[in-house]
Amino acid sequence: MKTIVTGASGLLGRHVAEALVAAGHDVLGVDAVVPGEVAWRHATADLTDLGSTLQLVRDCDAVVHVAAIPRPTGRAGGEVFKTNIATAYNVVEAAAMAGARRFVYASSFSVFGYPFFEKPVRPPYLPVDLNHPVGAQDPYGLSKWLGEEIVDAAVRRGAFSAVSIRMPWIQTPGSFFEGVAPRRATADSARDLWAYLDGRDAGQGFLRALEW
């Protein structure tokens, strides 16, 4: 399957592209950052521009949209929100216009309000599942939630079939043992409910969502 993976140079996107290539998919990775030596083709584009995005995704069978500013910190909130929303809208619209049959969207656990809340969020019950209410308070979480709505709108009009996946904190074995494991015993880690996922498992999850 000819598949576009946006954000393919990032931590999550790289694992997604690797999983898809290993499964035999023809992958074009799109990212502002040029990767090193990789097993997929690469293109650089401004995904906030619809015309540029459409040029990339034409003739594709599927799109996996991972590209985003991945947190609300370090940049102005308006920039995070504007960039993520514009990118999600353009990639969805371009995929629809290009005739893509399948769309997979990388949403975030932050849709529930964790871990970037200002007013503490208390889960109504545990474990957290998809029946929990949207509780985003920050521009990143809001942008991911509205990205889901953009995808759902395209599905309602019959553009393609789609899955949105709310991802937790993505880790590698090295980053886990060096940075995550020592923090898991601290109270501050409760902000994200101690949630994390190995990037390799995340890549397999996106592969299953694509092929489902």
Longest dimension (CA), the chain: 49
Per-residue pLDDT, 193:
79
Per-residue pLDDT, 195:
82
Q: For residue 55, give the 3-state DSSP assignment.
A: helix
List pLDDT tens digits, range 77-105: 999 999 999 999 999 999 999 999 999 99
Per-residue pLDDT, 117:
86
**What CATH number does the domain containing 119 carry?**
3.40.50.720
Per-residue pLDDT, 185:
65
Expressed as residue numbers, the domain containing 149 is 2-211
pLDDT < 50 positions in the chain: none
Number of domains in the chain: 1
Per-residue pLDDT, 57:
94
Per-residue pLDDT, 56:
93
